[in-house]
A and B are shown apart, each in its own frame.
Chain A
Amino acid sequence: MSLRIVVCVKYVPDATGDRRFSEDLTTDRESVDGLLSELDEYAVEQGLQIAGEADDAEVTVLTIGPEDAGDALRKALSMGADKAVHVEDDDLHGTDALGTSLVLAKAVEKTGYDLVICGMASTDGTMGVLPAMLAERLGVPQVTLLSEVAVADGKVTGRRDGDVATEQLEASLPAVVSVTDQSGEARYPSFKGIMAAKKKPVASLDLDDLDIEADEVGLEGAWTKVDEATERPARTAGTVVKDEGEGGKQLAAFLAEQKFV
């Protein structure tokens, strides 16, 4: 039987751009160009590698987001994923992590899966909670923050580099995996891949398709509320000196003045 891999990806504002908030204090997705979150490229890469090792596998990329988020799916398809699912609904605007995990869980179940792969975090929200929430909702093992991952004989194994220890993990499929930026460089789409991606199927789902009520998601359904967002004041310009042979001593004097020494 075919190994069904679903890779969850996010379309995010480019982190090198001048990211800001909209008037309703949600992430402004207009003023900065969006792209496939860099950390999700690693998830797509591992999905493709695992599929390559399997006798028979299919890689589906899944995203939630406005129309533009289709760009993230297109990128993943051009890297080599087989098909895509785009959950798009106006009522999803402002959905928080809990709501997102609900939608992802329903969409993953509807798609059918043996293995869900996520990036370690998004590059905009950076919470890093989605994979755990998704595993909780799906009721399947969480095998997360892996720097190495392999699938064989109905089991997923991997190496997790934790804060104080390195752990080897093992779980039976189906499971939710997340991979770090140490899991292996993501491939660049080839010209052939980019051309092929144009013909790959992208299914579109809305909240009705997933049996989710509008008030369970969106800004109104969010369980957290941002009351204020203030741009950080630019740091006041400090002293910059050119080393003329005494730079280290000058720096030491500064540290002493600041009572660090």
Chain B
Amino acid sequence: MAEVLVYVDHVDGAVRKPTLELLTLARRLGDPVAVHLGPGADEAAKVLGEYGAVKVLAADAPEFADYLVVPKVDALQAAHEAVSPVAVLVPSSAEGKEIAARLAVRTGSGIITDAVDLVAGDDGPVATQSVFAAGYTTKSRITRGTPVITVKPNSAAPEAAPAAGAVEQLAVPFGEQATGTKVTSRTARESTGRPELTEAAIVVSGGRGVGGAESFHVIESLADSLGAAVGASRAAVDAGWYPHSSQVGQTGKSVSPQLYIAAGISGAIQHRAGMQTSKTIVAVNKDAEAPIFELVDYGVVGDLFQVVPQLTKEVRARKG
């Protein structure tokens, strides 16, 4: 059967959820072959195999951490040459999209980014995308080369499908460009203990209505009661109330959780672009005219400092 390369996003061997979603989607197109770069391949292979990887091509070298993006492109290209896949799937992270972009140029292949669904078609994989701030849905395919497709988190529910997942070493010849951009230092982001924003099933976001950094604990408490990630609108981030890494919107993260709760967010296009594909949308805002209410499944017009703590208390009570 045809093989599909899946680029593995992991932290020291701990495979991140979007990769399991990719494996699930890859099985619609062929046999998934995972490409694992950096440490922890043996650990990762157990999970990758459980979710359908027939093989894990592994390479570890200091270049992957010491230089930006290009060494990983060299490795994916080596895997591409070793396997001759029918498609290459990469998680739609900032780095994932850059890796995919360069691979597409090198292999003379078309590229589709930010797919939210993927099916096999008569002329190769058909990717669904959500475009123009989710105003449109498109279906596209690649007409030249090996389709390179980046897939957004939460595009599929990971399904276990045990396969061999045997680790094979991948030899990676690094090109001249590999060492072009040096990573002179790296500071891991401090863990909040909450789910990662783009991967979370529930996201609670605060905006201008929160009024200040010192009030964001109201949003965090609700998030914690629901096991949710915390997001923020651009207004809240620009005001310095919450870190940019939590920004939901066109210039921040794009999220598509099962449940999105917007508190004190008016719902400008900039924000809607990043959350409009959420399955269920709930909003609390004191302005009944706020555009966010056009999107909601359930909305409460009121003071978030009254409504949100009451909601948090009620959620905790119901959860016992």
Residues of A that sit less than 8 Å from B by CB? 15-16, 18-21, 25, 39, 96-98, 101, 120, 123-124, 126-133, 135-137, 139-145, 147, 157, 160-172, 175, 180-182, 222-232, 234-235, 238-243, 245-252, 254-256, 258, 260-261
Contacts and interface: CB of A to CB of B under 8 A. Distances in A.
A243 B94 contact: no
A165 to B, nearest CB: 5
Nearest to B187: A166
Given A15-B273, A243-B300, A260-B258, 16 more contacts: A98-B105, A124-B132, A126-B250, A128-B97, A129-B104, A168-B184, A168-B186, A170-B181, A181-B251, A229-B131, A231-B135, A235-B296, A243-B301, A248-B300, A251-B300, A255-B282
Given A132-B98, A162-B94, A228-B138, A255 B300 contact: no
A21 B276 CA distance: 19
A186 to B, nearest CB: 13
A135 B98 CA distance: 10
Nearest to A234: B294
Contacts of B196: 163
B114 A126 contact: yes
B69 A224 contact: no
B235 to A, nearest CB: 13
Contact of B141 (A140, A224, A234, A261): A224
A228 B276 CA distance: 20
B158 to A, nearest CB: 19
B177 A240 contact: no
Contacts of B280: 258, 260
A166 B314 contact: no
Contacts of B97: 127-129, 132
B124 to A, nearest CB: 10
B301 A142 contact: no
Contact of B95 (A162, A223, A255, A256): A162
A142 B68 contact: yes
Given A20-B132, A120-B251, A167 B185 contact: yes
Contact of B126 (A25, A39, A166, A227): A227
17 contacts: A18-B135, A20-B132, A129-B97, A130-B101, A133-B101, A136-B73, A140-B180, A141-B177, A142-B70, A145-B94, A223-B143, A225-B141, A227-B140, A242-B302, A248-B306, A251-B314, A258-B280
A222 B100 CA distance: 17
Contacts of A135: 102
Given A126-B114, A145-B94, A224-B110, A170 B102 contact: no
A251 B105 contact: no
A239 B114 contact: no
B105 A136 contact: yes
Given A251-B311, A255-B315, A260 B301 contact: no
Given A238-B299, A243-B306, A254-B282, A142 B98 contact: yes
Interface string B9-44: 001000000000000000000000000000000000
Nearest to B94: A145
B221 interface: no
A261 B316 CA distance: 9
B296 A166 contact: no
Nearest to B202: A260
A126 B282 CA distance: 26
A165 B245 CA distance: 10
Interface of B: 11, 68-70, 73, 93-95, 97-102, 104-106, 109-114, 126, 130-145, 176-177, 180-189, 196, 202, 226, 244-245, 250-251, 258-259, 269-270, 273, 276, 280-282, 284, 288, 293-303, 306-315, 318-319
Q: Which 5 A-B pairs have the closest CB atoms?
A: A243-B302, A248-B310, A223-B110, A141-B180, A129-B101
Contacts of B109: 223
A247 B307 contact: yes
Nearest to A101: B105
A230 B110 contact: no
A78 to B, nearest CB: 23
Contacts of A131: 98
A240 to B, nearest CB: 4
B180 A142 contact: yes
Residue with the highest number of chain B CB atoms closer than 10 Å, among A145, A162, A222, A256? A162
Residue with the highest number of chain B CB atoms closer than 10 Å, among A166, A224, A249? A224
B142 A223 contact: yes
B68 A97 contact: no
B101 A251 contact: no
B310 A247 contact: yes
Contacts of B311: 247-249, 251-252
Contact of B181 (A126, A169, A254): A169
B284 A170 contact: no
